[in-house]
Amino acid sequence: MDNVYLSVVIPSYNEIANLRKGTLDKVQHFLEKQTYSYEVLIVDDGSTDGSLEFVEKFILENPKFKILKNQHLGKAGAVTSGMLNAKGELRLFTDMDQATPIEEVNELTPFTKKGYDVVIGSRSSHREGSPLTRQFISLSAILLRRVLVGLNEISDTQCGFKLFTRDAADLLFNKISDIHHGFHKISGSAVTAGFDVELLYLAKIEGLKVKEVPVDWLYVETRRVSPVSDSVNGFLDFVRIGINRFRGKYR
């Protein structure tokens, strides 16, 4: 597919519950109404619950959708693979649960015409439907990120709805792939705070223009989210990024 305007990258690891709810149909119905060309890359991250087979069947009837099959590398590896294989002038990554609905992309794209390289969705401090424990963890993560990493100018680094120009995507995702040596096969789930923070920190030191834009967002419970273990892993990620930062690894 040539001259693609928007590439949508969706990581998928054991997402059969969301797939059966029709999330891909919603994405397809919205994009088909737009005037621009598009592609959707679903990056299967080694699913074992029938997700892969579901998506393979879906793309037979939807030629603008395609699938990339990864080993289980975790979300960071899946997103990176998708963004580097995308062809779009603009490249969005979003979550399969569509907590931020695909329609919100039209709130982000106008800013690329104003010279921004990276446009990120931002949730309000009051996150609708989110338990108080998750809100507390989010606020704690913001404080830790500011102390250990910086990025004080960004209020919400973790919203899984981020748009990049082609040049910005090629630069940032090639760099993050090099830093992680192409990512490695893992076991279990790996949804950590460090990936998004690392991306945005790289954008900052590369001098890219980043715009934060409010988007609609609704909390969606998932069995892969563990408040305690995710908080510990997030803290360790921030420490790692802080150490790399002071060692000059990102330059």
Question: Rounded to two decimals, what is the model's pTM?
Answer: 0.86
- Indicate the pLDDT class of residue 185, thresholds 50, 70 and 90: confident
Average pLDDT (52-60) is 97
What number does CATH give the domain 6-124+156-219? 3.90.550.10
Per the model's pLDDT, the better-predicted residue between 237 and 22 turns out to be 22
pLDDT at 85: 97
User: pLDDT tens for residues 130-159?
Assistant: 555 555 555 556 666 666 666 788 888 889
Both tokens assigned to 59: 């793309």
pLDDT at 224: 55
pLDDT at 90: 98
Both tokens assigned to 125: 């401090």
Q: What is the 3-state secondary structure (H, E, C) of the chain?
A: CCCCCEEEEEEECCCHHHHHCCHHHHHHHHHHCCCCCEEEEEEECCCCCCHHHHHHHHHHCCCCEEEEECCCCCHHHHHHHHHHHCCCCEEEECCCCCCCCHHHHHHHHHHHHHCCCEEEEECCCCCCCCCHHHHHHHHHHHHHHHHHCCCCCCCCCCCCCEEEEHHHHHHHHHHHHHHCCCCCCCCCCCCCCHHHHHHHHHHHHCCCCEEEEECCCCCCCCCCCCHHHHHHHHHHHHHHHHHHHHHCCCC
Percent of the chain scoring above 90 in pLDDT: 63
Per the model's pLDDT, the better-predicted residue between 167 and 123 turns out to be 167
Domain boundaries, given as residue ranges, for the chain = 6-124+156-219
Burial class (CB in 10 A: 0-12, 13-18, 19+), 125: exposed
The residue with tokens 């420490």 is: 239
User: pLDDT tens for residues 4-19?
Assistant: 999 999 999 999 999 9
- Least trusted range by pLDDT, from 27-31, 34-38, 70-74, 116-120: 70-74
- Least trusted range by pLDDT, from 136-145, 172-181, 185-194: 136-145
pLDDT above 70 (res 42): yes
C-alpha span between 187 and 152 (Å, rounded): 33
Compute and round to an integer the Cα radius of gyration of the chain: 17
Residues in the chain: 251
Longest dimension (CA), the chain: 50
Close Cβ partners of 125 (under 8 Å, ≥ 6 residues apart): 139, 155
Residue type, 124: S
pLDDT above 70 (res 72): yes
pLDDT above 90 (res 33): yes
